[in-house]
Structure 1
């Protein structure tokens, strides 16, 4: 991706300019970011996806002001002629190639942060109420119209009488009506309320991952300890004296525990491996269809459900880490960046790295390339 070239996607800004001026700083309204905007699936197809138990979906209704939330699978949707309902289908990029292609337009943000594409289908007046997100979001109007009201609200109070996180004291500062092709970027914490104007409103939401420090530590620590060699590490206290305070934790045991944790974090490349594996772990309800080894003379493409990252010493794919160096590392990094390798590039891999591609294709993580990229 050419990060220094102006693009209609970002109102004439280059990705580099957008990241400096707007990312996590201020909203950006883009008229006709997508000149030929269209939903990646029909309402019938979305309804079929929402009815599956391997697809995350929700149905939000506000009939006569009574807010209700139903978690998927959703067996049946209300009629589009009935005002006040919204269907949310999460992770559409994992199920539809067209949705994955739409998500790929935003890969000027590191893949470690890029999460998924959610689609919202709403009848007239449908929405999820005024709320705020703890992550960045691009809101893309794909069909119909939606009115957005936004505000940099810092004193939000949530209602306690509804099953959604709806702001009770919403104070909008700006208002827009988005038509097909328009897009609105909002940084974390910006309060916003989107309401469908007429039926057949389809809005795409490109979201980003933003873990809290506590949540990230809770995910990384078990991975760090999984690899520890505990042989000979038994706690011993031959100098422990008789205690008149048996309920007190011995200081020596506390020191032993502290050294154990520090040793786990300080092992060479341990934190790097744990982070890369955690960031590429597939989401729940995602599984891959087994395939055959990569045919000779053919390129490879990452399956749309695969997550692949790299650092200076590893490549990470779907929760696993692999050491790589030299030409193999350069080609594997290219696979992560472009999500594909041509047949000529595959032919340059070492036998060991080529064997990895065969295994990944058998696992369904890679697919044989159907068309060659120049």
Structure 2
């Protein structure tokens, strides 16, 4: 479900999705999400994107930030440039050879190669914050790349992506040619190269959209839509914000995974069978399909089994989405100064649950379990509800115990100070 964000929080924290679309979340979900492109001119949006990326920021990343592969790549006419053509050692104390060489990038860029900065949602602070907000609103994992294209150049040939994208034009002008899918809703293991001939044929047809993006314009493309872009007249910079949307196949995948608990489906096939003989294999396929139908019917009647499937899906999401970053040194100082009148909150993006036993109250995360005395259970449940909690008001704990619990939660990266 797409969550409507509060737009009254100031210019820095306003809804990331509305910044990209100019409309409310519900309208975007109904009219465009996963189905239809949306081209939005800068005049229809609430402001520029200069707080997220600029030409000067690109230069800073290349020349001063020690960016390494695979966070950077270069390409021309659809072919990737070998990384040793634009990387090298950083010199004494930084001899690792996969660091960007700014002079080599200059040479390759001047020769017509497009520069791609990848994983900016992990590298560039403004985009780290923006991406976190967009993930919260969409409920799907998000990544950000930047494409820097020389004048009148095309970095990649017509293709489709296996994730949705928001294209945000930062500098210069770029012509985009958009064609409808040859394969709707491709999964992440169904790249365009598997359908190269069909993509190339369809790209020769009249496009659905033939548009020029100017600075501040945004184009939303659902996965599967074929596209290519060409810089016009000068260097261009755009952000590609990729959304790896969960889909029904993900649920089906995790549901079928639950069938590994069915003993009959784990039994070996006959000794001496011939897996290359389709006539011999077909009866086994039909038999297994029948067994699966019966097993799925039983699964549908088992609330605990259904709950385990939802937990598998949540765990997969947790693997793909990073919680908000913490500042270790500031957090240590805050832990030492924590008092009963202070408030903490659940760290954004942390997925956890409380498990109660007579001996303990455990906060269970994907990669660890944090155990506390059983009298902490109500306080932990309250914190995991998402609202800020004042320590001296935590249920079941006196102030001194609440401060100890608060320090433990901050130290474990589960909670942060409210207002952070």
The equivalent of 1:90 in structure 2 is 118
**Are 2:85 and 1:60 aligned?**
no
Going from structure 1 to structure 2, the CA distance change for 1:181 and 1:66 (only over 3 Å counts) comes to: closer
Going from structure 1 to structure 2, the CA distance change for 1:25 and 1:296 (only over 3 Å counts) comes to: same
Confirm or deny: 8 A CA contact 2:158 2:228 kept in the other structure: yes
**What is the root-mean-square deviation of aligned Cα atoms in Å?**
5.3
Deviation larger for 19-28 or 346-355: 346-355
Confirm or deny: 8 A CA contact 1:131 1:166 kept in the other structure: yes
Q: Which has the higher helix share?
A: 2
**Are 2:127 and 1:75 aligned?**
no
User: Which of 293, 313, 318 is matched with 1:275 structurally?
Assistant: 313
The answer for unaligned runs of 5 or more in structure 1 is: 238-244, 336-340
Show the 5 A alignment for 1:1-374.
Answer: 1-2=5-6, 9=19, 12-32=22-42, 33=45, 35-38=47-50, 39-40=52-53, 42-47=57-62, 51-52=67-68, 56-62=70-76, 65=77, 67-70=79-82, 73=98, 75-76=100-101, 77-79=104-106, 82-104=110-132, 106-107=134-135, 109-111=137-139, 113-124=140-151, 125-154=153-182, 167=200, 169-170=202-203, 171=205, 172-211=207-246, 247=272, 267=304, 269-281=307-319, 292=332, 294=335, 295-297=337-339, 298-300=342-344, 307-309=349-351, 329=381, 331-334=383-386, 341=388, 345=390, 348-350=393-395, 358-364=407-413, 366-368=415-417, 372=419
The answer for unaligned runs of 5 or more in structure 2 is: 9-13, 88-97, 185-190, 274-283, 356-361
1:136-172 CA distances to partner (integer Å, 9 max, x unpaired)? 2211112332221112142799669x9xx98464143
Query: 1: CA distance between counterparts of 2:168 and 2:30?
Result: 21
Going from structure 1 to structure 2, the CA distance change for 1:278 and 1:49 (only over 3 Å counts) comes to: farther
Query: 1: CA distance between counterparts of 2:19 and 2:325?
Result: 32
Going from structure 1 to structure 2, the CA distance change for 1:190 and 1:158 (only over 3 Å counts) comes to: closer
The equivalent of 1:241 in structure 2 is none
Query: 1: CA distance between counterparts of 2:385 and 2:73?
Result: 40
Q: TM-score, normalised by structure 2?
A: 0.60
Query: 2: CA distance between counterparts of 1:356 and 1:119?
Result: 42
Query: 2: CA distance between counterparts of 1:287 and 1:224?
Result: 37
1:308-360 CA distances to partner (integer Å, 9 max, x unpaired)? 3579999985656899987754642436xxxxx4xx55554455997776445
Going from structure 1 to structure 2, the CA distance change for 1:185 and 1:263 (only over 3 Å counts) comes to: closer
Q: Displacement, 1:183?
A: 0.6
Q: TM-score, normalised by structure 1?
A: 0.66
Query: 1: CA distance between counterparts of 2:413 and 2:234?
Result: 39
Confirm or deny: 8 A CA contact 1:147 1:197 kept in the other structure: yes
Q: Displacement, 1:67?
A: 1.9
Confirm or deny: 8 A CA contact 1:288 1:363 kept in the other structure: no
Deviation larger for 177-186 or 267-276: 267-276
Q: Displacement, 1:282?
A: 5.1
Query: 2: CA distance between counterparts of 1:204 and 1:3?
Result: 23
Confirm or deny: 8 A CA contact 1:57 1:87 kept in the other structure: no
Confirm or deny: 8 A CA contact 1:141 1:180 kept in the other structure: yes
Q: Displacement, 1:277?
A: 1.8
Confirm or deny: 8 A CA contact 2:346 2:383 kept in the other structure: no
Query: 2: CA distance between counterparts of 1:45 and 1:139?
Result: 22
Query: 2: CA distance between counterparts of 1:83 and 1:301?
Result: 51
Going from structure 1 to structure 2, the CA distance change for 1:59 and 1:363 (only over 3 Å counts) comes to: same
